[in-house]
Amino acid sequence: MDDVPAPRKVTELAALKAFAHPRRRHIIEYLAEQGPATSAGLARALDMNTGATSYHLRELARHGFVEEVPVEGAHGRERWWSAPRQDLRFPPRSEQDPATRAVMEEMAGYSLSRDVTAFQEASRAMDPSDPWADAFPFSRGAITVTPQELAQFFEEYIGLLKRYQRPPEETPSEARVVFTHFLGYPAPARPDGGERDSEEG
């Protein structure tokens, strides 16, 4: 697809802090899921005051995480914001200084905890008769790879995501936003130095 965004590496500490801020993450997630909104609309939806949402939006826009967009039917000086599709890449651990590592660890911990909680809450709230009742895939597995192969595996995963990140005009009417989460980490080395068996699930 021609509109698939190229990877954007975020390395500046100020930008990382802006993105990692919990309330700003809520704003980005809301805009990505629900579409453009005003600061007042965000304030109502996220239980914040308009002054706070306006400030957070300006900070996010300064680093290119949200952008102002024209909306048909907007009133007066009303400003509408959206979260553009982006392939954001953050510094790998080997390139992180102590300050960057602290921000990245805080962001990762917050994101993982929030995602697990949201998954559980959505699953419990889903009516079994809803057509989307079975839309909670979960898989845990293991692969045996080199660091270079793992990097390629990740790129293939990102490519699959991009394949389904279609613009509105190409999206089926019955489609919904589905959140995904990718997590990988090396298994502890065996004391005898041998390889662990791969598992599938």
Query: What is the CATH number for 26?
Result: 1.10.10.10
* Domains in the chain, number: 1
Domain contains 93: yes
- Band (pLDDT 50/70/90 cuts) for residue 73 is low
Instruction: Look at residues 24, 32, 7, 8 and name the one whose alpha carbon lies nearest to residue 111.
Output: 24
Q: What is the pTM of this model?
A: 0.79
Query: Is residue 81 one of the residues assigned to a domain?
Result: yes
State the angle between helix axes of 13-20 and 22-34 in degrees (0 to 180), rounded to the nearest 10: 70
In the chain, the largest separation of any two C-alpha atoms, in whole Å, equals 71
With vertex at residue 177, the alpha carbon angle to CA 173 and CA 179, rounded to the nearest 5 degrees, is 160
- For 46-60, the pLDDT digits (tens) are 999 999 999 999 999
Q: How many CB atoms lie within 10 A of CB 30?
A: 16
Q: What CA–CA distance (Å, rounded) separates 33 from 29?
A: 6
Higher confidence at residue 167 or residue 123?
123
Is 177 contained in some domain? no
178 belongs to a structural domain: no
Residue 79 lies in a domain: yes
Q: Is residue 42 part of a domain?
A: yes
- The answer, yes or no, to whether residue 197 has pLDDT greater than 90, is no
Task: Report yes or no on 127 lying in a domain.
Answer: yes
- Please check the confidence at residue 66 and state whether its pLDDT lies above 90: yes
Confirm whether 200 is domain-assigned.
no
Can you give the residue range of the structural domain that contains 23? 7-170
Above 50 in pLDDT, residue 147? yes
- Average per-residue pLDDT for the chain: 90
Q: Which helix (H) or strand (E) holds 80?
A: strand 80-82
Beta pairing, strands 87-89 & 7-9: parallel
